[in-house]
A and B are shown apart, each in its own frame.
Chain A
Amino acid sequence: MKKFLAIVLAAVMALSMVSFASASSLAGEYEIKVWVADAIVDLTEAQIKRFNETNEDGITFKATIEKMGEGDAASNMVQDVEAGADIYCFAQDQLSRLLTAKALAKLGTKAAEFVTANYDADSAKSVTVDGTMYAYPLTADNGYFMYYDKSVIPDEDVDSLEKLIEDCEKAGKYFSFDLKNVWYSAGFFFGDAGCTSTWVMDADGNAKGVVDNFNSDKGLIALKGMKKLLDSDCWNSSSEVSAFESNSAIVVSGTWGSSTAKQILGDNLGVADLPSYDIDGTAYHIGSFFGFKLMGIKPQEDPVKNAALNKLAQFLTGKECSLERHASNGWGPANLEAQADEAVLNDPILAAVYAQKAYGQVQLAISGAWWNIGNVIADEAKDATDEEGLKQVLVNYENKINESLKLDANALLFVGAWNGWNNADEADTYYFKDGALTLDVPESDYMGGRIVKPADWGTDKGFAQVTTGAELIKDLGADNPDNNIVFAEPGNYTVTWDGTAITIVKN
């Protein structure tokens, strides 16, 4: 009897849902809490008001808007998700922390399609973790570049780190570059030095693996470049544009400092991408992170409210609102239509951001622990006295990553010609899930690669371990000292590693 009742109830529920679904009305009044940066509180309030008036779904939000810096949103959310905002802005580096705290609602299928279609491709990638999107891109300008005082720094010197240091030392001025924060110091490693650090994250915000080659010859070059600045008396570890007031001639900072910098320096303000440093006669351009500000929605128990919040987020990150934020605060939009707008295209500060982006690494989800591990690089490097010391810094860095993150013992990556050997952007795609991986091998001269443990480029898993499917790969004999697996033909393959042997199947 009970079972029967349950079936009837379930059927009634299902029916009622279908009947409502056809209407799928979102109409109603919702009380929400919104966290945005201080600078856009009033603007956001006006925008939400406009949303209430113009939306076609009959949604009315009674919004309480609270100011919350994008850098602080995560720590406040993590402390008490229940009391946190329903919709909030945060900087991309906090994504994994928010995932850990389960403070972000996954985007539904249609919402994800919307993001892919309407926003900057890199920004769409930056909100994706383990194949799922978690937020709407708000801005695509979270990078850093160089503000300088033209009265101290001649324009022709801005391309050379050595000359800039010399200029500052001569003038008794400071070169402010917040190297004690790895978000900035990683710039030396990215750029022309060519290091990468890309994380494979899971939906809980845990690191499953990392492709990181800071501890390499390339990393050593980067560290030598950084050391030049660290060893100079003119180095000041700050990213506050207000440092211009306390004797700095150069400040490496982001778009958020532009109005303050203009106020302090007036016509003497110069803006440029970061300089190059010279190691053994080669110039290496300093890279940077290129990050995003995102707008996330707190997980909801009510699907209707969640859907309504999605509408609001789409509106707030849409063309019109993005352009308003650009006009009032100079924020570079992530929305494609807004990016194509004249005003955005002609913005000199955004031009510096995009010039620097060419040397940047797009910031994807990164394990929260990495920031703690990386922040000490500059301190350690400053104390190092010789090349061995610098090498030790990198070894320590790698050890800490391996130890502290307790990387998934089964985490494996298949790197090779198909992803540029270390093309970290695609790390997620070449990651073994439960010991198996399906990949496309495109036509090329050398269709080879090898299975590596993230952060460990050991050559112990490769050709020699292939037990099934040996006919699909080439036997190069002595020409293959690195134990690489080289496919005979392009195609789609499934590769399985069971702990002792590799099985290859062509699909």
Chain B
Amino acid sequence: MAQLSDLEYLKLSKGRRLGYKVGRFFAKIPQATLNAFQRIGGALKSGVTAIGREAKDIVTTFVNGDWKTKLSYLVMGFGCLARGQILRGLLFLLFEIVFIGYMILSGAYWLSMMPSLGKVGPTETYDEIYDAYVHTYNDNSFQILLYSVLTIFFIIAFIYTWRVNIRQNKEAERILAAGKRLKSSKEDLHSMVDESFHKTLLSLPLTGIIIFTVLPLIFMILVAFTNYDGAHDGYISNLFHWVGLDNFNTLFSWKSASGTQSYAATFGEILSWTLMWAFFATFTNYFLGMFVAMAINKKGIKGKKLWRTILVMTIAIPQFISLLYVSKMFAKDGIVNGALMSLGWIDKALPFWEDATWARVSVILINIWIGIPYLMLMATGILMNIPADLYESARIDGANPWQQYTKITLPYMLFITGPYLLTSFIGNINNFNVIFLLTGGAPTNPAASSASGSVGYTDLLITWLFKISTGAESKYYLASVIGIMVFVVVSIIALIVYNLLPSIKNEEDFQ
């Protein structure tokens, strides 16, 4: 669809404007995809050139450098020590010694075991004297995988430090050649709280993120390429091994026996419900929460504080408790059905958790009840922030309340809460609590349930993942594959929506 000029666009009727916008969105997709690939290609290219530049610099530094610099290639920090920068030199040297020591003592072992993830499994022998089976445990695939990843991180850190060491030599030579003085150890220390203060501050969080976030993440992704499960725990039962892309094939294979559904079909079903759920859970909460906030904010409403307090009370009770309680309330023999029956409104129990559609609608409705207070609180603050003169001038121009809402309130809200909407959508895709505590995935979907675990109509990807990893067969590898797929889905949605958000696109609008 060709792009129209502003004038042409304004000539269109309301319906056609909408059609035009939708058409433009889809028309842009091929170009956007192409751009994305080009950007990736560009990034790769610049990455390669950067490495080439670094390599060239390393060589030229060596060729042009003096003997202190040359020796620093082998003994890190030698140049610093020889030029009187004792502290720096010692730190470099210490790091090299620690690194070499670690590699010899254990790093080399972990790396050598990495391709096989363990060679000798556990053994069992009968000890006649004590009438006992004696177990010996040997290689530990889990540790091998973990420590080899850690070792690779360490090697990367070493290479980086080695590079820094060379660059510093070059720098030092340049400074000395210019006839200036090098920094003393004392000055180095001082700089840590002065011009290098950002490094001092960031070093701890960065280390933390690498050890507690990045490392486990990489470890978990690698699990998807192994056969790590209940029967192969890597130490006690059996070693686990690399299986390549087998697990991805399992998840995306449409083949299955009659009576059982393939993983791919189950994945598709659960994914579509997950997206449906995330959509409804996010937007029902958003609009109803906003509505409640506006209703309470309205001039002339009495007892504003009371209404807010009542709503906030639901936040005060831990979700864990209220959800489990509500789940019981709506059970077949729960008090909701009991009350309705004794009132004579129904003569048989309503299948809140027994019927697929009922259960899906029920979880969305109950989620509204849980979510509104949060939205109400947030919206209240934002609504009070909208300049009253906007409404005043709108009223003078004859705008009715609906027009005021669509032209002032909603754009303003969307502008401010756009990123929140995105995160809450993503949060709802992974909303384990509500689903697991309310229904546990029930009612069961017999076709999708198989030997490796039951699957229900209200199961999200995340609860399915949980069931697979804690089920009878503890298929951690499959859970990992699903985890990766959730990441892919979430990142695609996040990237697309993020770029469409008014708060990102039209950053200046409300400033």
Q: Do A and B bind each other?
A: yes
Q: Which residues of A contact B (CB under 8 A)?
A: 17, 20-21, 24, 26, 75, 78-79, 81-82, 97, 100-103, 105-106, 108-111, 172, 174, 176, 180, 204-206, 233, 236-238, 243, 246-248, 299-304, 306-307, 310, 368-373, 375-376, 379-380, 383, 395-405
| Complex-state Cα separation, A299 to B130, whole angstroms | 14
Q: Which residues of the partner chain B approach A24 to less than 8 Å between Cβ atoms?
A: 129-130
Given A307-B130, A372-B472, A400 contacting B260 (CB threshold 8 A): yes
Q: Which residues of the partner chain B approach A398 to less than 8 Å between Cβ atoms?
A: 259
Q: Which residues of the partner chain A approach B319 to less than 8 Å between Cβ atoms?
A: none
B232 to chain A, nearest CB (A): 9
Q: Are B230 and A396 in contact (CB under 8 A)?
A: no
Would you mind naming 8 contact pairs between A and B with Cβ atoms under 8 Å apart?
A: A78-B233, A102-B237, A172-B341, A174-B332, A299-B124, A302-B134, A369-B472, A404-B451
Q: Which residues of the partner chain B approach A310 to less than 8 Å between Cβ atoms?
A: 131-132
A272 to chain B, nearest CB (A): 21
Given A233-B348, A247-B333, A396-B259, A306 contacting B446 (CB threshold 8 A): no
The A-contacting residues of B in range 434-455, CB under 8 angstroms, are 443-444, 446, 449-454
Q: Are B471 and A303 in contact (CB under 8 A)?
A: no
| Complex-state Cα separation, A380 to B449, whole angstroms | 11
Q: Which residues of B contact A (CB under 8 A)?
A: 122, 124, 126-127, 129-137, 230-231, 233, 235-238, 256-260, 331-335, 338, 341, 348-349, 443-444, 446, 449-454, 470-474
Q: Which residues of the partner chain B approach A304 to less than 8 Å between Cβ atoms?
A: 130, 132
Q: Which residues of the partner chain B approach A206 to less than 8 Å between Cβ atoms?
A: 231
| Complex-state Cα separation, A295 to B133, whole angstroms | 17
Given A372-B453, A400-B260, A403-B260, A105 contacting B237 (CB threshold 8 A): no
Q: Are A399 and B237 in contact (CB under 8 A)?
A: no
A499 to chain B, nearest CB (A): 23
Q: Are B450 and A400 in contact (CB under 8 A)?
A: yes
Q: Are B237 and A101 in contact (CB under 8 A)?
A: yes
Q: Are A307 and B257 in contact (CB under 8 A)?
A: no
Of A20, A248, A396, which contacts B446 at CB under 8 A?
A396
Q: Which residues of the partner chain A approach B260 to less than 8 Å between Cβ atoms?
A: 396, 399-400, 403-404
The prevalent SS among residues of A at the interface is helix
In the complex, which residue of chain B has the Cβ closest to the Cβ of A132? B133
Q: Are A400 and B451 in contact (CB under 8 A)?
A: yes
| Complex-state Cα separation, A306 to B474, whole angstroms | 27
Q: Are A380 and B446 in contact (CB under 8 A)?
A: yes
Q: Are A372 and B452 in contact (CB under 8 A)?
A: yes
Q: Which residues of the partner chain A approach B473 to less than 8 Å between Cβ atoms?
A: 100, 368-369
Q: Are A108 and B446 in contact (CB under 8 A)?
A: no
B448 to chain A, nearest CB (A): 9
| Complex-state Cα separation, A310 to B259, whole angstroms | 45
Q: Which residues of the partner chain B approach A405 to less than 8 Å between Cβ atoms?
A: 451
Q: Are A400 and B259 in contact (CB under 8 A)?
A: yes
Q: Are A246 and B334 in contact (CB under 8 A)?
A: yes
B486 to chain A, nearest CB (A): 22
Given A101-B231, A368-B473, A303 contacting B446 (CB threshold 8 A): no
In the complex, which residue of chain A has the Cβ closest to the Cβ of B469? A79
Q: Which residues of the partner chain B approach A369 to less than 8 Å between Cβ atoms?
A: 451-452, 472-473
Q: Which residues of the partner chain B approach A79 to less than 8 Å between Cβ atoms?
A: 470, 474
Given A306-B133, A307-B132, A400-B260, A375 contacting B124 (CB threshold 8 A): no
Q: Are B470 and A75 in contact (CB under 8 A)?
A: yes
Q: Which residues of the partner chain A approach B135 to less than 8 Å between Cβ atoms?
A: 105, 299-301
Q: Are A109 and B131 in contact (CB under 8 A)?
A: yes
Q: Are B134 and A376 in contact (CB under 8 A)?
A: no
Interface centre among B122, B235, B449, by most A CB within 10 Å? B449
Q: Are B471 and A372 in contact (CB under 8 A)?
A: yes
Q: Are A180 and B444 in contact (CB under 8 A)?
A: yes
| Complex-state Cα separation, A403 to B450, whole angstroms | 10
Of A26, A81, A243, which contacts B236 at CB under 8 A?
A81
Q: Which residues of the partner chain A approach B454 to less than 8 Å between Cβ atoms?
A: 372, 375-376
Q: Which residues of the partner chain A approach B334 to less than 8 Å between Cβ atoms?
A: 246
A268 to chain B, nearest CB (A): 18
Q: Are B131 and A204 in contact (CB under 8 A)?
A: no
Given A24-B130, A301-B137, A376 contacting B231 (CB threshold 8 A): no
| Complex-state Cα separation, A381 to B122, whole angstroms | 44
Known: A108-B126, A246-B333, A372-B449. 9 other contacts (CB 8 A): A81-B235, A81-B236, A109-B131, A233-B349, A238-B333, A299-B124, A299-B236, A303-B134, A401-B451
Q: Which 5 A-B pairs have the closest CB atoms?
A: A404-B451, A403-B257, A108-B131, A399-B259, A369-B451
Of A105, A180, A380, which contacts B132 at CB under 8 A?
A105
Given A300-B132, A303-B134, A372 contacting B450 (CB threshold 8 A): yes
| Complex-state Cα separation, A375 to B259, whole angstroms | 15
A23 to chain B, nearest CB (A): 10
In the complex, which residue of chain A has the Cβ closest to the Cβ of B442? A180
Q: Which residues of the partner chain B approach A205 to less than 8 Å between Cβ atoms?
A: 231
In the complex, which residue of chain A has the Cβ closest to the Cβ of B135? A299
A100 to chain B, nearest CB (A): 5
| Complex-state Cα separation, A304 to B133, whole angstroms | 10
Q: Which residues of the partner chain B approach A82 to less than 8 Å between Cβ atoms?
A: 235-236
Q: Are A379 and B259 in contact (CB under 8 A)?
A: no
Of B122, B231, B235, B470, which contacts A204 at CB under 8 A?
B231
Q: Are B259 and A395 in contact (CB under 8 A)?
A: yes
Given A100-B231, A379-B443, A373 contacting B450 (CB threshold 8 A): yes
Q: Are B472 and A368 in contact (CB under 8 A)?
A: yes
In the complex, which residue of chain A has the Cβ closest to the Cβ of B127? A303
Given A379-B443, A403-B256, A102 contacting B470 (CB threshold 8 A): no
| Complex-state Cα separation, A181 to B134, whole angstroms | 37
Q: Which residues of the partner chain A approach B256 to less than 8 Å between Cβ atoms?
A: 403
Q: Are A306 and B341 in contact (CB under 8 A)?
A: no
Q: Are B450 and A97 in contact (CB under 8 A)?
A: no
| Complex-state Cα separation, A236 to B353, whole angstroms | 12
Interface centre among A82, A299, A307, A399, by most B CB within 10 Å? A299
| Complex-state Cα separation, A504 to B130, whole angstroms | 41
Q: Are B134 and A372 in contact (CB under 8 A)?
A: no
Given A24-B130, A110-B131, A301 contacting B136 (CB threshold 8 A): yes
Interface centre among A111, A176, A301, A404, by most B CB within 10 Å? A404
Given A306-B130, A379-B446, A405-B451, A103 contacting B236 (CB threshold 8 A): yes
| Complex-state Cα separation, A400 to B451, whole angstroms | 7
Q: Are B230 and A78 in contact (CB under 8 A)?
A: yes
Q: Which residues of the partner chain B approach A174 to less than 8 Å between Cβ atoms?
A: 332-333
Q: Are A376 and B349 in contact (CB under 8 A)?
A: no
Q: Which residues of the partner chain B approach A106 to less than 8 Å between Cβ atoms?
A: 124, 133
Q: Are B130 and A246 in contact (CB under 8 A)?
A: no
In the complex, which residue of chain B has the Cβ closest to the Cβ of A398? B259
| Complex-state Cα separation, A398 to B131, whole angstroms | 42
In the complex, which residue of chain A has the Cβ closest to the Cβ of B236? A81
Of A176, A247, A380, which contacts B338 at CB under 8 A?
A247
Given A97-B472, A400-B259, A303 contacting B449 (CB threshold 8 A): no
Q: Are A306 and B132 in contact (CB under 8 A)?
A: yes
Of B133, B230, B235, B258, which contacts A100 at CB under 8 A?
B230
Given A17-B129, A403-B256, A376 contacting B236 (CB threshold 8 A): no
Q: Which residues of the partner chain A approach B137 to less than 8 Å between Cβ atoms?
A: 301
| Complex-state Cα separation, A399 to B443, whole angstroms | 22
In the complex, which residue of chain B has the Cβ closest to the Cβ of A104? B133
Q: Which residues of the partner chain A approach B235 to less than 8 Å between Cβ atoms?
A: 81-82
| Complex-state Cα separation, A397 to B449, whole angstroms | 11
Q: Are B130 and A375 in contact (CB under 8 A)?
A: no
Q: Which residues of the partner chain B approach A403 to less than 8 Å between Cβ atoms?
A: 256-257, 259-260
Q: Are A299 and B449 in contact (CB under 8 A)?
A: no
In the complex, which residue of chain A has the Cβ closest to the Cβ of B443? A379
Interface centre among B133, B231, B443, by most A CB within 10 Å? B133
Of A108, A246, A375, which contacts B133 at CB under 8 A?
A108
B117 to chain A, nearest CB (A): 18
Given A78-B230, A395-B259, A403-B260, A306 contacting B134 (CB threshold 8 A): yes
A22 to chain B, nearest CB (A): 9
Interface centre among B127, B131, B256, B443, by most A CB within 10 Å? B131
